[in-house]
Structure 1
Amino acid sequence: MGKTALVVIDMLNTYDHEDADLLLPSVTRALPAVVHLLEQARERDLPVIYANDNFGKWRSHHGEILDTALAGPHADLVSPVRPDESSYFVVKARHSVFYETPLAYLLGTLDVSHLVLCGQVTEQCVLYSALDAHIRHLSVTVAEDAVAHIHQDLADAALCMMRTNMGARILPAEEALGAAG
């Protein structure tokens, strides 16, 4: 059986988009749990993989994405979750962390078979990433207190879909990394 990896979705964010006002309160609530997961994963020497949009700048790299987010008005939401030197980074263009990214290959080289997902947005990128992991026969845990939403009702439905249709474990961050794949 393979290892567990923590996947941090879209937390390096400028919050300069249409739904940011709806998203920000949820990100603020989820942030401590994301930080906790990062601390746990690093203590256990588990792979930490950031999958992040590139703000439409196709010449960007992970350092530039981080710098852009840290220079934005909500750097306080980015700084606590910044990648360290051992973190992996995948630039994504669409909702799923797998869609046209090298993530599946990276997971194979790391012998990862279980993903713990955290980040944003529950009813969008987290949901589609969980589905794509499921169809790749990877087990998934979603840290329910470490994901942020735009619409609470859609987030609740997304968590239910992930549990019911994909067999995902929906657990608090405190238990998420302990859930064996």
Structure 2
Amino acid sequence: MGHSALIVIDMINTYDHADADLLVPSAKAVVPRIARLIDEARRRKVPVIYVNDNFGEWRSHHGEILETALAGPHADLVEPLRPRNDSLFVIKARHSIFYETPLSYLLSQLNVGQVILCGQVTEQCVLYSALDAHIRHLRVTVPRDAVAHIHSDLADAALRMMERNMDVTIRNSASIEF
């Protein structure tokens, strides 16, 4: 059956993109919940894996991505979720955390059978990642109050699709079981 892993999607972010004004209020609401999930996972020795866009900077590494985000105007959304020096960090190029990344291999090496997906954006990267996890026969949980959205109606529809079509467990972050 395998262990659990908490995956934090795209939260190391500069919020320097077209939909940022729509995303930031939702991100502000979920950051404290994601921070609590990270703390609880670390306390329980559950792997926390940050999977993040590199913003098209192909020579960058996770430290540079973090420094850039912390130097931006929304550092307050990044600081509470700051990866530790020993954190696992995977850089992605597209919406899914699995697309062209070593994440599947990493999860197999960690004997992970369940992923808990939190972060942003519910109706984009979280949705596509949940589908890719599902087709890899991983159990998927998404805490509805720990995923940020751009459009609330699309986020609600995405969560319903994940639950109905991908057998994703949708629950509140306070009831997440690692």
Deviation sequence 1:132-172 (CA, Å, 0-9, x none)? 00000000000110000000000000000000000000011
2:26 counterpart letter in structure 1: S
Q: What's the Cα RMSD here?
A: 0.7
Match of 2:27 in 1: 27
2:144 counterpart letter in structure 1: E
Q: Which runs of 5+ in 2 are unaligned?
A: none
5 Å-filtered alignment, 1:68-79, equals: 68-79=68-79
| Distance across 2 between alignment mates of 1:174 and 1:77 | 20
| Distance across 2 between alignment mates of 1:113 and 1:99 | 18
| Distance across 2 between alignment mates of 1:32 and 1:65 | 21
Aligned-partner SS, 2:145: strand
| Distance across 2 between alignment mates of 1:81 and 1:111 | 24
Aligned-partner SS, 1:95: coil
Match of 1:90 in 2: 90
Match of 1:60 in 2: 60
| Distance across 2 between alignment mates of 1:141 and 1:37 | 13
Aligned-partner SS, 1:56: coil
Deviation sequence 1:87-136 (CA, Å, 0-9, x none)? 11000000000000000000000000100000000000000000000000
| Distance across 2 between alignment mates of 1:174 and 1:87 | 23
| Distance across 1 between alignment mates of 2:158 and 2:6 | 19
Match of 1:159 in 2: 159
Runs of 4+ residues deviating >4 angstroms: none
Match of 1:105 in 2: 105
- TM (norm. structure 1) is 0.97
Equivalenced residues, count: 178
| Distance across 2 between alignment mates of 1:164 and 1:132 | 15
Moved more, 81-90 or 106-115: 81-90
